[in-house]
Amino acid sequence: MKPAILVPDVQTRAQLAALRSLGRAGYETHAVSSEPQAMGLKSTYARAAALHPHYDDPAFCDWLAAYVKANAIRMIVPSGGLLSAVRARFAEFSALLPVSPDPAVVYAGGDKIAAYECWRAAGLLDHHPQTLIARAGDVPDLSGFPLPIYVKGGRGADGEVVGVGFHQCLSAQDAQDAIRRTLAAGYESVLVQGGVTGRQVGVSLLMGAEGPLAGNVVVDCHAEPHSKGTMSLRRSEWHQDIYEDAARRLSALGWIGCAMVEYRRDDDSGDFHVIEVNARFWQYLHLDLHAGVDFPRLAAEWFLEGRVPPPIKPRQDVVCRDTFPGEFAWLANALRRPGSKAARLGAFLWRFIDPRIHADLNFPGDRALYFREFRRFAANEIRALHRKTTL
């Protein structure tokens, strides 16, 4: 058995993919979550599983320190929730995290405003939406901003994010109101961005101090994401210009470890705009695994053994989907739009049996989890429908 690695937040499909990657590679994986129903706790790739206090519980860091010591944990797979929870004790756990040892770099990676300010200082505002930063008392002129306008909460007064702080606004006046509400909620500043069109694109990267060590590019198969904004059906499709742009942006941030940079790309012109950095594993990580870019395993080998990955050429046109809830949510949106509902429903059903399409949860060696989670999803949907019909 290879060294012990702790994988938190295994209720998410990103961390589940990391767990599967590391377990398949022979690491002693410890799946942990604060949610008893977290799907990764029952994965066949979890060598051990445990529940822990919620991240906002003061006891969490003590629990983590004790668990690490008792189980000889050599690495912790970072998630956004875990990094936030250990912020005050980052120095205690940094030797176990495959990220920069500098907390300023680590926490700037999850700060949209810090990223924007870094890119502006580095002259990287090409391929960037029209943007401004608003602070308390500001009344910015948004008349020239393309719609919709996005208002995104930045830093709280204590340096922490203090809530969701995300608004999609269909008018300049709505955006002004959202700015006021967000600042009143405790944010020190907000990022305001004009809308950009195009298909969603994600660039996945493992960054070392010398630059990219491995990468992949993924595009949304749907022209528009569903209402929750995720790429519920996506394929590997290489775009060198976007890949190089993402690598420059992460290098400017000084990022070490794995991250994903999100873009929108116009199919006709090829123009693209950066949306944000996800400084953690990303929802479509299963597709990267199927495309041959095994980021969690590569990161573990690099971090624990100093092994630099050989050049990897991702397999192209590999398709993977978030069947539920993602594709079900896409279908609900698609059936509300003008056009042939029968064609959309037929395409949705065909994807269940198309052997070329992978499903996130239906992973080799762990397929029972897919059917268990589908039963739970269906039961929840039936209960929700029953509540609506009885109101």
In order along its 391 residues, the chain shows pLDDT tens digits of 799 999 999 999 999 999 999 999 999 999 999 999 999 999 999 999 999 999 999 999 999 999 999 999 999 999 999 999 999 999 999 999 999 999 999 998 888 899 999 999 999 999 999 999 999 889 899 999 999 999 998 754 444 444 557 899 999 999 999 999 999 888 889 999 999 999 999 999 999 999 999 999 999 999 876 555 579 999 999 999 999 999 999 999 999 999 999 999 999 999 999 999 999 999 999 999 999 999 999 999 999 999 999 999 999 999 999 999 999 999 988 898 888 899 999 999 999 999 999 999 999 999 999 999 999 999 999 998 878 777 6
Do 49 and 41 contact (CB within 8 A), yes or no? yes
* Alpha carbons 277 and 282: distance in angstroms, whole number: 10
Q: What is the torsional sign of CA 290, 19, 233, 82? A: negative
Do 300 and 204 contact (CB within 8 A), yes or no? no
Taking alpha carbons only, the member of 80, 106, 62 closest to residue 9 is 80
| Contacts (Cβ under 8 Å, ≥6 apart) of 339 | none
Taking alpha carbons only, the member of 232, 221, 256, 266 closest to residue 99 is 256
Tell me whether residue 169 is exposed, middle or buried, using C-beta atoms within 10 angstroms of its C-beta: 0 to 12, 13 to 18, 19 or more: buried
Do 134 and 190 contact (CB within 8 A), yes or no? yes
Return the number of other C-beta atoms located less than 10 Å from residue 44's C-beta.
14
Q: Torsions phi, psi of 23, nearest 5? A: -65, -40
* Alpha carbons 1 and 127: distance in angstroms, whole number: 45
Buried (b) or exposed (e) across 88-97, using 16+ Cβ within 10 A? eebeebbebb
- Where in the chain is CATH 3.40.50.20? 2-97
Do 112 and 176 contact (CB within 8 A), yes or no? no
Note the pTM of the prediction, 2 decimals: 0.93
* SS3 assignment, position 305: helix
CATH code for the part of the protein at 130-194:
3.30.1490.20
- Where in the chain is CATH 3.30.470.20? 198-360
Supply the pLDDT for residue 156.
47
| CB-based contacts of 140-145 (< 8 A; 24+ apart in sequence) | 140/176, 140/179, 140/192, 142/172, 142/175, 142/176, 142/192, 143/172, 145/172, 145/175, 145/192, 145/194, 145/195
Fold designation for 198-360: D-amino Acid Aminotransferase; Chain A, domain 1 (3.30.470)
Side-chain half-sphere of 170: how many Cα atoms within 13 Å? 0
Helices (H), the chain: 13-24, 60-70, 80-85, 90-93, 103-108, 112-121, 172-184, 240-253, 285-290, 295-305, 328-336, 341-353, 368-390
Residues, the chain: 391
- Where in the chain is CATH 3.30.1490.20? 130-194
* Alpha carbons 200 and 278: distance in angstroms, whole number: 14
Taking alpha carbons only, the member of 272, 133, 287, 302 closest to residue 209 is 302
For the domain made up of 2-97, the CATH class stated in words is alpha beta
